[in-house]
A and B are shown apart, each in its own frame.
Chain A
């Protein structure tokens, strides 16, 4: 009985310390930098799972360390342990029940609930002028096209692709993988991964298919402020894969209109 008591106390102490550590981590931000509601949702799910699993983790770790110290053989002589038991129905039943209950709970929350939230929270904002951005991935470059503003390819003065988004807007990314410059070559499309680390989610871009990704931007920020605000390819797509990135700017609506006007002028000059 003494061992069980000593173990339980150490387990509780370690769990409490663990929870404190985990919560300190949450305060700092698990995702380091978040710029959309989706990223915040994902971070919350992450935090919830870690909070629940901390005592479970502590249970096993304390069990290992406790057994290592308390039940170690104290001399060289090899002899059977004095306690021999093959089963403990109560312990096994509790273990199995808790693991089933925990898993069912995780499935309901955060798995199902967060998926629901991440993908359906935008329903309320439907038809409230989502910004549509057509994203084309080729080897090895991103193209951003704003069909509502007749911008065929957003680019800076050097001709590099740039992505500008207004803050506090829902953005619908339409993702396609093909090479607009070599449309005659059917073998050139490969799988790319569209990811903006600060946005908290990614979607693979698959040749021959069209995929959608919704985000709701929450703050004004840019690649210059935090390098996590960048478009990055995450699915290996050939030797140019590491270089397949583009800076992102999230700006106020008036700055966004300025950007639109500037791009339209640039496009007029080029044509």
Chain B
């Protein structure tokens, strides 16, 4: 693979006279438009022509979308970077070594990681804006922002879908995973860099598809696309299925790539016993993705076929509950797909920040692996309200049992903190907040695993509070910790400790102000998916909305701080945290080639009893 890398980078000198072309992103949009117009026209006007038909029909828009995505991928550079070399052509293509490389197809895992980080950040801001609109609507007990409930429900659906499939499953895996994991295991590239370059560009396509779904019509099912209701929805649901398909395909490709990278591209001496915790987290989460993403893709394809052909899989003539079973069979592992990287981050950061050996490392790994295994056995606790009473107990049992391996992450974290020399800086603060928030999510999870409590709390704001505690509280807080922790790696610059802490405390207060009250609101009788609710719930909702806006501003504040410090922060050395893991044993930011030579690992990365490095041939900065 490295030969292709050098091919493409050497291209600048070898082919100085390269023909000028449009910027790749613009060309991608153009090719997407052309692809859509051609295929949509062929389908709706030629192959599937009906009298008095509209130009855009469900089948035509589906096939047109497929053509548009292919055009988009080829246009941003997959044509030169993937297709032509695949068929034996030369990669006569310039990769400029400036900001433009982030706006085109790339095979450098660092560029891809950065592109993923920005794609998921874009998704987070869009979906967060949708959340702000929802909270604004809920400030009053009647419709006042949206003019009909369907618009509100579409917003809920866009918020949930984009958050889940382009942030939750992507930010820490596609983003930080792609960037950090090869550095961490001492590799110069991932296992399948060309596929990885394609997978990234599916994310903006998927987000755009979901966000633009109201063009085809409202859809009222929320992020779960519940059949049989989806069968009645206007055509917007088609773009829900297609957008999610693009996003899950992207995650699937990332997972294949990361699994192969961790298995086969480790530096010499990096044995299974020495794999860093974050890489362990990426490996378990990738296996989870490989098991469950194809399952949900198949489900959504069946939903799509029901919508465009139509086939009555999930209507009253088919089997309405089958959709739910299949959805949650994926839907619960999805929660762990989101938080397992967060667990791994706790275990990655705390030893560094405390300059103390990782406590009970083997139990941390056992915890990650058992969470991965058990997560597929618990799905039906989302369905206590629509299953036979006799089915409840086994699912309740497994759901309660999953708290044991989850607890191991806490065991490792607090064991590492005990008697450490803990630096209370912004990443540490975010990790500790993440521990605290996820603990609340876990405790309420035990409550929800209990069928009789679940029968009351299910489908209320209690559940919303619970999963936001696990997902925002667990994953998003860890995501911020990762941003602050690896900022010196990305940019060679340090954030401002004072403003970082302000940002952390700000979102912590906003977050708990919103979601703790949602528990009480749920128990008071607030059900989900309602823009209109009984007036006795209005004062509490009003207050929650105010905290919600505080939280939204807090997130924006943190991003602005990070962005500012990325460019203007004080320059720091290669290893400001005195970490022993490999990603800090190269220059910050890393050069095009991560390691030269490839390091030889001779010890544990988490042994802080002395200051000896764990590598025999450490990177040496030739400039200094």
Chain A: residues with CB nearer than 8 A to chain B? 3, 30-32, 38-39, 41-42, 45-46, 49-50, 53, 56-57, 60-61, 63-64, 67-68, 71-73, 78-88, 91-92, 95-96, 99-100, 103, 106-107, 110-112, 114-115, 118-119, 178, 186-191, 193, 195, 197-198, 200-204, 206-209, 211, 227-228, 230, 232-243
Contact = CB atoms under 8 A, between A and B. Distances in A.
Of A57, A241, A242, the most chain B CB neighbours within 10 A belong to A242
A201 B389 CA distance: 13
A229 B534 CA distance: 12
Nearest to A197: B525
B159 to A, nearest CB: 14
A187 B400 contact: no
Interface in B228-258: 228-229, 231-232
A206 B325 CA distance: 13
Interface stretch (B183-191, B196-204, B446-454, B555-563): B446-454
Contact of A95 (B226, B358, B411, B577): B411
A39 B523 CA distance: 12
Of B404, B407, B577, the most chain A CB neighbours within 10 A belong to B407
B459 interface: yes
Contacts of B451: 111, 114-115, 118
A204 B323 CA distance: 14
A181 B386 CA distance: 25
Interface stretch (B119-127, B421-429, B588-596): B421-429
A230 B435 CA distance: 38
B459 A235 contact: yes
A112 B394 CA distance: 10
Contacts of A86: 357-361
Contacts of A30: 523
B618 interface: no
Contact of A111 (B396, B404, B432, B577): B396
Contacts of B502: none
A31 B521 CA distance: 10
Nearest to A56: B443
Contacts of A198: 525
Contact of A88 (B392, B404, B407, B415): B415
Interface of B: 148-150, 153, 218, 220-222, 226, 228-229, 231-232, 312, 315-317, 320-321, 324, 354-361, 363, 385-386, 389, 392-393, 396-397, 400-401, 403-404, 407, 410-411, 414-415, 417-424, 432, 435-436, 439, 443, 446-447, 449-453, 455-456, 458-460, 523-525, 527-534, 536, 577-578, 607-611
A100 to B, nearest CB: 6
Nearest to B405: A99
Given A60-B439, A81-B355, A236-B221, A106 B421 contact: no
A207 B447 contact: no
Contact of A232 (B150, B317, B403, B527): B527
A67 B459 contact: no
A206 B386 contact: yes
Contact of A202 (B363, B385, B410): B385
A30 B414 CA distance: 31
A203 B456 CA distance: 9
Nearest to B610: A80
Contacts of B385: 193, 202-204, 234-235
B316 A186 contact: yes
Contacts of A232: 525, 527
Nearest to A119: B389
Contacts of B456: 31, 39, 42, 197, 200-202
Given A81-B355, A230-B534, A191 B228 contact: yes
A80 B528 contact: no
Of A32, A73, A228, the most chain B CB neighbours within 10 A belong to A73
Given A115-B392, A186-B317, A234-B458, A42 B527 contact: no
17 contacts: A67-B420, A67-B422, A73-B421, A80-B356, A83-B356, A84-B357, A85-B357, A110-B452, A114-B450, A186-B317, A187-B316, A188-B232, A188-B316, A191-B320, A191-B386, A208-B320, A239-B153
